[in-house]
Amino acid sequence: MALVGEAADGEAALRLTEETHPDVVVMDISMPGLGGLDGIRRIKDSVPDTQVVVLTMHEDEHYFFQALEAGASGYVIKGAAPVELLSAIRAVRGGQAYFCPSLAKQMLNDYLRRADAGSEKEKDTLTKLSDREKEVLKLIAEGKTGREIASQLFLSPNTVERHRANIMDKLGLHNRAELIKFAIRKGLVPLED
């Protein structure tokens, strides 16, 4: 691992990412100027092959899902052990998603509460998806871009986008964060320890 740069705000992080094309950017959500969430979006638009790990003090689902929606593939709390950040960097570099264990536990508890309350609407929803749609969903949840998915599955980017739209329609989901949350609940994305 090599550190190729350091930035104090989102604009500087974007410029540095465009100059150096790192494999992974570690980004805070709370930054001066261009905030971390907008910075993540712009980095993913500008350098889509760069993966983003959020390192933040915010340990709640609200920020977590906003970061996923923006394009982050990893989420680590600042109070975590340094080895956790290294694990997150290695995981997202390897094409996996990484979420701090406390958030994974919150998501699991939320899921179990809904299931116990009888409001689990997703019971057999995976059966609505074709095998190809399940593959696309898994890759989206792993943080892959449309172009990366197209390349990996030997499809056109338009076909990948059509599959994504079909998945969202069939599952009644509205954005990337909801797709990722669904994939996590269904066990399609391994959570790193």
Predicted TM-score (pTM) of this structure:
0.61
pLDDT at 121 over 60: no
* CA dist., res. 138 & res. 35, Å (int): 28
- Give the side-chain half-sphere CA count within 13 A for 161: 4
Least confident of 28-42, 80-94, 178-192: 178-192
Instruction: Domains for the chain: give ranges and CATH numbers.
Output: 10-107 (3.40.50.2300), 121-185 (1.10.10.10)
DSSP classification of residue 125: G
| Mean pLDDT value across residues 13-23 | 93
Q: How does residue 120 score in pLDDT terms, banded at 50, 70 and 90?
A: very low
Burial class (CB in 10 A: 0-12, 13-18, 19+), 81: exposed
Please state, rounded to an integer, the average pLDDT across all residues of the chain. Answer: 84
Q: How does residue 119 score in pLDDT terms, banded at 50, 70 and 90?
A: very low
